Structure 1
Amino acid sequence: MAYSSRPTSMLPGAPGGSSMRQPSGSQSQQSSALSARIAAKKAELENLRQLRDLSGTLATQMQALENKVSTLKEGTEAVAYVLSNWDNVLRAITLASKKASGLHAPLAESESKNVGNEPSLPATLVRIPAEPREKTGE
């Protein structure tokens, strides 16, 4: 019996084993499939980075929007507070007008005779018409 000078092994990872030999066409197919998979993963990574950047921008914009909405809310609360007190302001003006016209009653009566029965109103108060005036070309 002649022994061969080449070592042979039946272990799967051993060099020179006939079970691990693959044709060169199959190896190039695996290489191209692996390259395609790596390229796909790189594209996916780039898309994820863009998504992260856009998400960060969106989060910043949402924070700015939250600040603006809270400012708007505070302004709305201030307007609501003023409007809730508006009736009290009008009552105070009316009360002050009545009190002031009562203090100047003798002067008001003498002026009302001259003007045509219109009571004199205090000059220090501002009058806001409750009904819209007709446009007179002003």
Structure 2
Amino acid sequence: MSAFPTRSFSSHMRQPSLAAASTSTASTGQSTALAARVSEKKAELENLKELRNLSAALASQMEALEQKLATLSDGTEAIALVLSNWHNVLRAINMASAKLPKPSTDESSPVDDPAPLPQTLVRIPTEHAPTLQAHAEGALEEERD
């Protein structure tokens, strides 16, 4: 018989292999957890890149909207200015119409006579109109070239 028991020898031999197996299982579990965490972070990175791209697109759309609103605001101010002048225009027309002679109610006047028109408020010379139009068309052609 031998001085070393067989059982203890085999149990000693199995112990390191069990420890090595548990260490490799733990390292495999850790590497699996790390791989899962890495893939999770990659997915998060992709989502952040998509969010950045969408945010940039939204910012450019907001800038375009800002420009359109500025144009609209300028147009609104111009319209308000024109409308504020209508009061003066209507008052001038009323004053010109007040100077007209009142139509007589005599039956002796012919019925075919039209009602008198108000005085001319603005006179626009038309003799230079063809020259001005040709000049404007020439300027437009130069801008296109």
Q: CA deviation at 1:86?
A: 1.3
Give 1:120's aligned residue: 116
Match status 1:87 vs 2:83: no
Q: More relative contact order in 1 or in 2 (CA 8 Å, sep 6+)? A: 2
| Secondary structure of 2:116's aligned partner | coil
Give 2:13's aligned residue: none
Q: CA deviation at 1:115?
A: 2.7
4+ long deviations beyond 4 Å: 116-119
RMSD across aligned positions (CA): 3.0
Query: How many residues get paired?
Result: 99
Q: CA deviation at 1:64?
A: 0.3
- Gap runs ≥5 in structure 1: 1-20, 126-138
Mapping for residues 1-138 of structure 1, pairs under 5 Å: 23-99=23-99, 101=100, 113-115=109-111, 119-122=115-118
- Pick the structure with more helix per residue: 2
Length-normalised TM-score, structure 2: 0.58
Asked if 1 retains the 8 angstrom alpha-carbon contact of 2:97 and 2:119, the reply is no
Q: CA deviation at 1:54?
A: 0.4
